[in-house]
Structure formats: structure tokens, C-alpha cells
């Protein structure tokens, strides 16, 4: 992953502690452990299968799934971050597969219901007076999409669609609600770091899985319709298509993230000096793409890479994008040459895939998609405003099976939204995506604007022929883009000042007299955090005689600066003084007062400060 995922700015010259090689070593160890867990989950599901069309649910799978669900619920209830690590690990490491389930319901859906129920019950109880005042525009747009999804589900029931199909189409919309806990969790540096490492481990794991599957099929260790094939199709939720010369096209549903991640790493390598992890991750992604060969993915990657172009870095953009393109072709040719035992470089297959973009009748899969169009348009015409509801199906002639088939896969993303949710739902999605693009351009910092805009537009292109936007991973991309990821980072410092009677100082703003906080402010250029903290304390309290005790730590919080969102790192120090008279010098913070710690906890409205002080309360006695 990139060296600095949350910011474009280097910190001022304050003493930020860099763990250097030790941190890198710990990161590699964590990635290795997560990689082992990645394969452990898959091996477990291969031996102790969940319920599939061919296999009954193994009771051991149920027991393990229930234990994981209960442990996560317990930790989340106790406000222990580890509960959310389980949720994140299941999503990231679990990919789109149904490796674990309880009574036929995937563990992911169970975790969604239980984790959000506990989170919102606690959140609304603790912050019932201020919760709705903290909502931003994107929260309301998410609620709008959720309401549109529920309405489309009701419409699906009205049209007598399959209940299980309706629920399967509706559940992804509830993943939007993860934006609330994610906004809280993203303030934890440890959670962000583990999340990055899990993504890296998943990229490596997926590349290895594809390599082993391609090698096994090519060497006839595996065969179509054998046990591994059914596991790959029904448990890992993938697709295997045999092409010429012992080469197989391998697809997994989590490959929806393939192009957004590839665009991200190309953009980050353009922006920063490349490191081994970045290069290895990008190479792994290109290897996966060379075995996936989805046409719309290649188009989306090409467009996304063009959006990354900037006149300032055009030479580096050209070098990195050209290297990625050449690297992809080398990987594809090498893989196909080995699989075919030297009989073919695979260029004819690659050429056919590209030609079928313009001439879909050349290939059965692209012709199948073309034949779906008139059938989908008929459905849209029958209910253009409200749609026919979630869980709908379409019957069409399949050139692959040489007969009519009924499928829930429309293969045209935007038309599927229109057919199932109507023009009302389509406009809700367009409004949401338009605002997200506006948010990225307005708030994301410097070159991150290009990277995130490229990811969003690339993903929108994928949705032309894939159900990308309303897939679980599509929704998770959206809420990640709304997170503090990529915001400008601002460094701030302040102090918890102990007076002679063990009271501490709080200050408030002239424009919000009820907003009390410890004295703090922005770190200036060429200023270390302790110097900045003492300067801010003098400006806001008038205290000069300060005895340094220790650094208490730091926390992150989103904030607004000059009408833009920023990502603020707040470092706090414990200081002691014998002075009692407070004479604020800063007109923006005209009032300062002494409070006991308990009184201060009542006065402070910032949840981040409250949580921080509650953790270091023992230092204040």
C-alpha cells in the first residue's frame, strides 16, 4: 500500500516518531499472518462446506460461523475495536465468497445485521440529542438510496418476484449504513493500518489463488465439474471458462475491486516514489487482470489511467502507465505460453476479446449480453417510473446453451437499475454519484482528486455491463470515498494543564460559547508540536509558567477549514502550572476557565476529546 494513504502533506518539522525498519518489519509480519488467514478460510470452507446447490451445510461450518458472530457482537457491544476488525476482515479477506454461513445465511449478512443493530442502539442512546445534527449531505443521499431500495423491494413483492431474490438484491443497500461506524473507526490509526495490510494480503492471496487454479486446471489436476470446480463456482462464487490451449479465464466477484485498486496503485506510484510493496501489489493486480480478461475492465482501466494524467507529472505518468501496460502484456503472454506448453502466446484470444467490444456478435458471451438489451428495454417500457422491483429476472435465448434461459443477471448495470427501480431509483443513483464526484473535486487533496475521480469514473464505466454500483463492493467503495481517505492532513497540538488544585483548563470559541475544549491549535511551519502546544496555551489561556510532564498521545478527527474538509491530527501534552489567573490573548477564544475533570467531561461536547480524556483520566489525578 502507499506509504501515506491519508494525506498528501509532509508534517511540519515537529518530532513525529518514525518506527522505520521496525514498523516495516511488523507490517510484513502482519501481512503474512493475514495471508495465512486468507487461505485458512478458503481451505476450511473446502473441507467443511457451507450450504450450496450441491452440498448440505456442514455443522462445523455453522458452529465456527456462530462463534465468530457471537465474538464480534460481544466486542462491539463492549466498544472493543476488535469486533469491527472481525467485520472488516470478513469483508476484505472473505472477498465475495460465501465461505461461512449460519442456517443458509452468509456470515457477512449476519454480521451486517448484528453489528449495525448494536452500533446504532448504542450510538442513538449516547448521542440522541446531537446525532441528527451531525448528519451531512451524503448521509441524506444514502438514506435516499436506502429508501429507494426498500421501495423497489416492495415493488418486487407486488410483482410476485422470488422472496430470496428480492432480499439478495436489497441487502447490499444496507451496507451503506457502514459509513457511520467507518467514520468513527477511520479515526483510529491502528484500524487504518490493519485495513491497509488486509487489503495488501488479499491482493497477494487472490493472485496466488488464481495462479494455483490456472496451474491446476492447465495441468489437469482440476477439471470442469469436479469438486474444486463446484467449490470455486458455488462457494468462492467464481466463474471458470475454458479457452484454447489449456488456458482458462478465471473470474471472482471480488474482482469488481480489481480496477479501482489498480488505478489507485498506478496513481500512487506516479505521485510517490515506488516501493516494493506497491510494485508487488500492482504486479499481482495485473496478473489477476491477465487471467480475468473482462473487456469492460480494460476499458475502465484505460480511461482511469488517462484521468490520472497531469501536466506537472506527465513524464512520470507516461513512464508508469506505459510500464503497467507493457507489464500486463508480458504477464498475459507468459501465462498463456506456459499454460499452452509453448503452443500459443495467446495474442489471438486477447485480440478476439478486444474486437468483440466493437463487434459483439463475434463471441458468445458478448452476443448473449447484446441479446439481453431488447428484453430489458421491454421491461423498462412496462414500468418506466417505479420499475418492476428488485428480484426481477429476464428470459432470453443463450447462444452458449442454445436454448432460452431465465436469469437474474441483466448484464447492463444502469439499465438494470432503471428496470428494477424505475426512473426514480435511477435519478437517486445519478444524484448520489454526482454529489460524490463534486465532493471528491472539492475536498480531496491535491493529486488525490485525480486518483479518486479516476476510481469513481472507472467504476461507473464498469457498471455499464456489470452490476457494479449496487454490489456490496461497489457500495463499500462509495463509503470509502466519503471517508477521510485522501483529505488534506492538518497537524494540531494542545495541552491538558493541571492547576494547583488538580483542575484543568478549558476554552471556548467566540462564535460558539457552548463549545468547550482544552486549549489547542494548528502547528505552524518550522515548529515542533510541544512548542506549538505551549504557544496555543499562552494565546488561549495566558499561561506561561508551564512544566512539561509527558506527551499523552494523539487522535485523528475530520474537521472543516476554509469550507473544505480536512483530516486533523491532534497531539496533546500533559503540563502543570502554579498559575491560576487566566488571561486569554486570542480574540477567537475569549473565555478560559478551570474545571474539575468530571466537570470538564460534562462541558466538552467533542466526542473525540471526551474519549481521549476518559482514556488518560488516571494521569490527571
At 403-412, the pLDDT tens digits run 888 888 888 9
Domain for residue 60, yes or no?
A: no
Asked whether residue 300 falls in the same domain as residue 436, the answer is no
Per-residue model confidence as pLDDT tens digits over 425-450: 999 999 999 999 998 988 777 668 89
Domain for residue 59, yes or no?
A: no
- Predicted pLDDT of residue 127: 83
At residue 354, does pLDDT exceed 80?
Answer: no
Q: How much is the average pLDDT of 6-29? A: 52
At residue 463, does pLDDT exceed 60?
Answer: yes
Do the Cβ atoms of 606 and 572 come closer than 8 Å?
no
At residue 20, does pLDDT exceed 50?
Answer: no
Mean pLDDT over all residues of the chain? 89
At residue 482, does pLDDT exceed 90?
Answer: no
Domain for residue 69, yes or no?
A: no
At residue 288, does pLDDT exceed 50?
Answer: yes
Q: Domain with 494 in it: what CATH number?
A: 3.90.79.10
Asked whether residue 152 falls in the same domain as residue 228, the answer is no
Domain for residue 504, yes or no?
A: yes
Asked whether residue 602 falls in the same domain as residue 465, the answer is no
- Predicted pLDDT of residue 511: 65
- Predicted pLDDT of residue 361: 65
Asked whether residue 244 falls in the same domain as residue 307, the answer is yes
Do the Cβ atoms of 469 and 459 come closer than 8 Å?
yes
Asked whether residue 435 falls in the same domain as residue 495, the answer is no
**Strand pairing partners for 496?**
574
At residue 190, does pLDDT exceed 90?
Answer: no
Q: How much is the average pLDDT of 43-54? A: 94
Domain for residue 16, yes or no?
A: no
At residue 559, does pLDDT exceed 90?
Answer: no
- Residue 588: which pLDDT band, with cuts at 50, 70 and 90? confident
- Predicted pLDDT of residue 153: 97
**Strand pairing partners for 491?**
569
Asked whether residue 612 falls in the same domain as residue 505, the answer is yes
Asked whether residue 205 falls in the same domain as residue 352, the answer is yes
Asked whether residue 165 falls in the same domain as residue 233, the answer is no
Q: Which residue has the cell 421491461?
A: 379
Q: What span, in angstroms and rounded, lies between the C-alpha atoms of 271 and 248?
A: 35
- Predicted pLDDT of residue 362: 66
Q: How much is the average pLDDT of 341-352? A: 86
Higher pLDDT, 332 or 448: 332
Domain closes at, from 301, 333, 358: 358
Asked whether residue 494 falls in the same domain as residue 468, the answer is no
Domain for residue 17, yes or no?
A: no
- Predicted pLDDT of residue 120: 95
- Predicted pLDDT of residue 23: 56
- Predicted pLDDT of residue 17: 42
**First-to-final CA distance of the chain:** 42
Q: What span, in angstroms and rounded, lies between the C-alpha atoms of 391 and 105?
A: 17
Q: How much is the average pLDDT of 136-145? A: 92
Do the Cβ atoms of 487 and 570 come closer than 8 Å?
no
Among 236, 276, 283, 293, CA closest to 261: 283
Q: What span, in angstroms and rounded, lies between the C-alpha atoms of 214 and 250?
A: 8
| Helix, coil or strand: residue 545 | coil
Q: What span, in angstroms and rounded, lies between the C-alpha atoms of 92 and 392?
A: 29
430 CA to centre of own chain: 20
Domain for residue 556, yes or no?
A: yes
Asked whether residue 272 falls in the same domain as residue 246, the answer is yes
C-alpha cell at 303: 480511461
Q: How much is the average pLDDT of 532-540? A: 93
Asked whether residue 453 falls in the same domain as residue 590, the answer is no
Asked whether residue 410 falls in the same domain as residue 551, the answer is no
Domain count, the chain: 3
Question: Could you tell me the residue range of the domain that residue 574 belongs to?
Answer: 489-620
Q: How much is the average pLDDT of 46-69? A: 95
- Predicted pLDDT of residue 10: 43
Amino acid at each position: 500500500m502507499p506509504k501515506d494513504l491519508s494525506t498528501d502533506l509532509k508534517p511540519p518539522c515537529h518530532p513525529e516518531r518514525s518506527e522505520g525498519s521496525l514498523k516495516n518489519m511488523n507490517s510484513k509480519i502482519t501481512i503474512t499472518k493475514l495471508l495465512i488467514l486468507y487461505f485458512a478460510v478458503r481451505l476450511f470452507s473446502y473441507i467443511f462446506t457451507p450450504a450450496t446447490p450441491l452440498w448440505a451445510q456442514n455443522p462445523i461450518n455453522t458452529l465456527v460461523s456462530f462463534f465468530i458472530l457471537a465474538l464480534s457482537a460481544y466486542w462491539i457491544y463492549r466498544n472493543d475495536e476488535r469486533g469491527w476488525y472481525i467485520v472488516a476482515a470478513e469483508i476484505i479477506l472473505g472477498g465475495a465468497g460465501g465461505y461461512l454461513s449460519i442456517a443458509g445465511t452468509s456470515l457477512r449478512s449476519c454480521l451486517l445485521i448484528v453489528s449495525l443493530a448494536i452500533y446504532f442502539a448504542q450510538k442513538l442512546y449516547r448521542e440522541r440529542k446531537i446525532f441528527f445534527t451531525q448528519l451531512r449531505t451524503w448521509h441524506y443521499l444514502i438514506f435516499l438510496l436506502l429508501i429507494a431500495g426498500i421501495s423497489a423491494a416492495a415493488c418486487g413483492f407486488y410483482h410476485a418476484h422470488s422472496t430470496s431474490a428480492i432480499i439478495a438484491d436489497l441487502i447490499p443497500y444496507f451496507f451503506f449504513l457502514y459509513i457511520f461506524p467507518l467514520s468513527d473507526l477511520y479515526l483510529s490509526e491502528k484500524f487504518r493500518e490493519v485495513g491497509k495490510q488486509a487489503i495488501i494480503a488479499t491482493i497477494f492471496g487472490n493472485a496466488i489463488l488464481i495462479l494455483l487454479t490456472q496451474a491446476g486446471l492447465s495441468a489437469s489436476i482440476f477439471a470442469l465439474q469436479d469438486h474444486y470446480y463446484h467449490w470455486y463456482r458455488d462457494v468462492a462464487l467464481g466463474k471458470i471458462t475454458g479457452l484454447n490451449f489449456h488456458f482458462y479465464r478465471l473470474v471472482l466477484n471480488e474482482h469488481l475491486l480489481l480496477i479501482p485498486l489498480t488505478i489507485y496503485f498506478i496513481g500512487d506510484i506516479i505521485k510517490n516514489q515506488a516501493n516494493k510493496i506497491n510494485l508487488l501489489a500492482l504486479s499481482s493486480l495485473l496478473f489477476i487482470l491477465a487471467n480475468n480478461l473482462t473487456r469492460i475492465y480494460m476499458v475502465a482501466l484505460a480511461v482511469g489511467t488517462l484521468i490520472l494524467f497531469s501536466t506537472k507529472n506527465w513524464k512520470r505518468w507516461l513512464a508508469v502507465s506505459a510500464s503497467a501496460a507493457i507489464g500486463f502484456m508480458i504477464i498475459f503472454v507468459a501465462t498463456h505460453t506456459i499454460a499452452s506448453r509453448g503452443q500459443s502466446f495467446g495474442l489471438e484470444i486477447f485480440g478476439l476479446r478486444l474486437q468483440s467490444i466493437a463487434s459483439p456478435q463475434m463471441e458468445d458471451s458478448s452476443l448473449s449480453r447484446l441479446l439481453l438489451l431488447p428484453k430489458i428495454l421491454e421491461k423498462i417500457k412496462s414500468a418506466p417510473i417505479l420499475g418492476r422491483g428488485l428480484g426481477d429476472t429476464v428470459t432470453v435465448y443463450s447462444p452458449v446453451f442454445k436454448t432460452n434461459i431465465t436469469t437474474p443477471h441483466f448484464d447492463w448495470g444502469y439499465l438494470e437499475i432503471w428496470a428494477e427501480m424505475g426512473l426514480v431509483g435511477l435519478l437517486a443513483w445519478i444524484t448520489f454519484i454526482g454529489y460524490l464526484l463534486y465532493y471528491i473535486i472539492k475536498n480531496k487533496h491535491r493529486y488525490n482528486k485525480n486518483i479518486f475521480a479516476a476510481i469513481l469514473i472507472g467504476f461507473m464505466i464498469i457498471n455499464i455491463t456489470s452490476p457494479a454500483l449496487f454490489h456490496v463492493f461497489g457500495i463499500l467503495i462509495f463509503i470509502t470515498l466519503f471517508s477521510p481517505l485522501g483529505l488534506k492532513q492538518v497537524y494540531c497540538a494542545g495541552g491538558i494543564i493541571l492547576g494547583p488544585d488538580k483542575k484543568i483548563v478549558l476554552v471556548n470559541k467566540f462564535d460558539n460559547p457552548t463549545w468547550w475544549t482544552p486549549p489547542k491549535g494548528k502547528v505552524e511551519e518550522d515548529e515542533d508540536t510541544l512548542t506549538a502546544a505551549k504557544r496555543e496555551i499562552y494565546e488561549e489561556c495566558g499561561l506561561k509558567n508551564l512544566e512539561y510532564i509527558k506527551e499523552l498521545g494523539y487522535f485523528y478527527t475530520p474537521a472543516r477549514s476554509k469550507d473544505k474538509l480536512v483530516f486533523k491530527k491532534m497531539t496533546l501534552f500533559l503540563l502543570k502550572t502554579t498559575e491560576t489567573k487566566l488571561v486569554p490573548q486570542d480574540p477567537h477564544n475569549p473565555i478560559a476557565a478551570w474545571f474539575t475533570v468530571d466537570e470538564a467531561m460534562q462541558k466538552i461536547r467533542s466526542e473525540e476529546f471526551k474519549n481521549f480524556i476518559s482514556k488518560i483520566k488516571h494521569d490527571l489525578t
